[in-house]
Amino acid sequence: MNFEQFRAPWWQPGGHVQTIWAALCARQGQTPAWRRERWETPDGDFIDVDFSIHPADTGAPTLVLFHGLEGSSSSHYAKALYQVCAQRGWHLAVPHFRGCSGEPNRLLRAYHSGDSDEVDWILRRLQQGVGGELVAVGVSLGGNALARWAGVQRQAALELVKGAAAVCAPLDLVAGGVHLGRGLNRWLYTPMFMRTLVPKALAKWQQSPGLFDRLRLQRARTLHEFDDVYTGPVHGFRDADDYWSRASAKPLLKQVAVPLLLLNARNDPFVPACSLPTPDEVSAAVQLWQPPHGGHVGFASGAWPAHVHAMPLAVTEWLEQWL
């Protein structure tokens, strides 16, 4: 399949349907079984990493999946990647960003879209523990963090991974954040994220009363308002605008040296098409796939009720050429 021409089934009109159908209705295959490891971080916190347990040779490649906002190894795209990695005989590792594995992390900080230092530490730790080569995939928030890491590391990224892919990443966080706060997006998707983000942040306030303006957080109805109160200041940014500007991967894409695939559907409700990078905004190491359909991490295809394996198959096939 030429994935740049990907088209959803005729009965999935528009980016909203393609996004929601893939997450809630499409076939995902057998439920994966994981082996979990808890890693202590250098700053006294922890993350949980889930490893696939399907048969694979010791020296087979390991695909590292960086999940999206409030995602986990239970996300539909993680389950689909599990099936595809099993078919290819690859190992799969899903490191959970802090607080996303089902247990609150210890520190007041959580995770954010530009956390390239955390990505670097995770990849270096994995490189020491696996027998084969590493490739990496980041989805949505995890995709921006991975792409930003590639831009920050430049040539040094080649020492850790053979190739990387960012799927449906909001590479321009300002454009994506503003888009999510408007119109139907504000009512469809923002409440879904806020249902878990706000209680987690309030738990941090209980750890450290006065950490932020609690009443402002409770009144927050958009991701900009949430990031302005909590994510930005707690993670070293002035406010939401400073966070979104400095954490975006797009300004660093000309510095990328490792083979990097950027896959973005042009009808993604989270990421306006006008914000997507153009060929003159990226380095020669970056390949752009911008199909007309797919929604946000959708890409469901096949007979009713469709499946979500097309994207993982295409992305892993692209990564395989670098191994």
Give me the residues paired with residue 46 across strands. Answer: 40
Averaged pLDDT for residues 50-71: 96
Beta-carbon contacts of 177 under 8 Å, excluding residues fewer than 6 positions away, are 170, 223, 224, 227, 240, 244
Is 241 among the catalytic positions? no
Residues 160 and 298 in one domain: yes
Whether the predicted pLDDT of 29 surpasses 80: no
pLDDT tops 60 at residue 1: no
Q: How many CB atoms lie within 10 A of CB 287?
A: 16
Point out the domain boundary residue: 209, 232, 247. Answer: 247
| pTM for this predicted structure | 0.97
Is 67 one of the catalytic residues?
no
For residues 120 and 256, membership in a common domain is answered with yes
The alpha carbon of residue 40 and the mean position of all alpha carbons in its chain are separated, in whole angstroms, by 22
For 114-157, the pLDDT digits (tens) are 999 999 999 999 999 988 999 999 999 999 999 999 999 999 99
Quick one: the chain helix, strand, coil %, rounded to 5? 45, 15, 40
Range of the domain at 124: 3-172+250-320
**Cα four-point dihedral sign 7, 10, 13, 17:** negative
Number of domains in the chain: 2
pLDDT of res. 28 = 75
Q: Which of 231, 247, 263 is the last residue of a domain?
A: 247
Choose the catalytic residue: 16, 224, 293, 296.
296
d(CA 42, CA 106): 13
Catalytic annotation, pick one of 140, 248, 275, 301: 140
Following DSSP, what letter does each residue of 302-319 receive, concatenated?
SSTT-BS-HHHHHHHHHH
| 181 lies in the same domain as 90 | no
Burial of 182 (0-12, 13-18, 19+ CB in 10 A): exposed
For strand 46-52 and strand 34-40, is the pairing parallel, antiparallel, or unpaired?
antiparallel
At residue 262, does pLDDT exceed 70? yes
Q: What is the pLDDT of residues 175-209, one digit of tens each?
A: 999 999 999 999 999 999 999 999 999 999 999 99
Name the DSSP letter for residue 252: G
pLDDT in tens, 273-322: 999 999 999 999 999 999 999 999 999 999 999 999 999 999 999 999 99
Instruction: Over range 12-38, report the average pLDDT.
Output: 92
Mean local confidence (pLDDT), 49-60: 95
Residues 218 and 70 grouped into a single domain: no
List, for residues 199-253, the tens digit of each pLDDT value.
Answer: 999 999 999 999 999 999 999 999 999 999 999 999 999 999 999 999 999 999 9
Q: How far apart are CA 272 and CA 172, in angstroms?
A: 9
The answer to whether residues 24 and 36 touch, using CB atoms and an 8 Å cutoff, is no
pLDDT above 90 (res 65): yes
Tell whether 20 and 159 lie within a shared domain.
yes
* pLDDT the model gives residue 2: 80
Residue 138: phi, psi to the nearest 5?
-120, 135
Same domain, yes or no, for 237 and 305?
no
Catalytic residue among 268, 293, 301, 309: 268
C-alpha 93: how far from chain center: 14
Has 213 been annotated as catalytic?
no
Put residue 116 in one of left, alpha, beta given phi > 0 → left and psi -120 to 50 → alpha. Answer: alpha
